[in-house]
Amino acid sequence: MIDASPTARATVRWLARSWWLLFPAFAAVTLRLGVERACADPYDLLPAITSNPAWAWPIAVVYVLAHAWVVTAYVTTTVVAETLRPSRGHWRALWGRELYLIVAMAAALVLEYAPIALWRWLGAAGICP
């Protein structure tokens, strides 16, 4: 069992609570960006929405906050585990039942960073309306 400091435990609690606000919006953005990459111009994402600052800024904030969330989760786990490559056991010991939050956010990031060639292949395979 990892002996986590009160600061690390508080950070995990804060991340677990903030995940419920951040993840649904980030998952929606990454899914929509994926569809845009598959079915439209992969380099001009969401032109109708991002050309309007009232929509572009909130999307950018969600996108950046999700990345900051992942970095904070990683740094907190590495500090507590005292290694740059924490094992599954370290993640489980610190995050406990909230480990699925990390897995879900990582899945959204994998979706976001999937190669454009994969998206184009999916688009050609028929996922586009």
pLDDT of residue 6: 87
Confidence at 44, pLDDT banded by 50, 70, 90: confident
The stretch 42-65 carries a mean pLDDT of: 86
Q: CA-to-CA distance for 116 and 3, rounded, in angstroms?
A: 42
Residue 109: inside a domain: yes
Q: CA-to-CA distance for 108 and 56, rounded, in angstroms?
A: 20
Residue 1: inside a domain: no
User: Which among 22, 124, 5 has a CA at the least distance from the CA of 76?
Assistant: 5
User: Which among 73, 66, 60 has a CA at the least distance from the CA of 14?
Assistant: 73
Q: What pTM, to 2 d.p., does this model score?
A: 0.85
pLDDT of residue 25: 94
Is residue 127 pLDDT above 80, yes or no? no
Residue 102: inside a domain: yes
Confidence at 63, pLDDT banded by 50, 70, 90: very high
Q: How many domains does the chain have?
A: 1
Name residue, tokens 């800024």.
Answer: 57
Domain that holds residue 14: 6-127
pLDDT of residue 21: 94
Length of the chain as a residue count: 129
pLDDT of residue 104: 95
pLDDT of residue 1: 46
Residue 61: inside a domain: yes
Residue 95 CB partners (closer than 8 Å, separation 6+): 12, 77, 101, 102
The stretch 51-55 carries a mean pLDDT of: 86
Q: With beta carbons less than 8 A apart as the criterion, state whether 78 and 86 touch.
A: yes
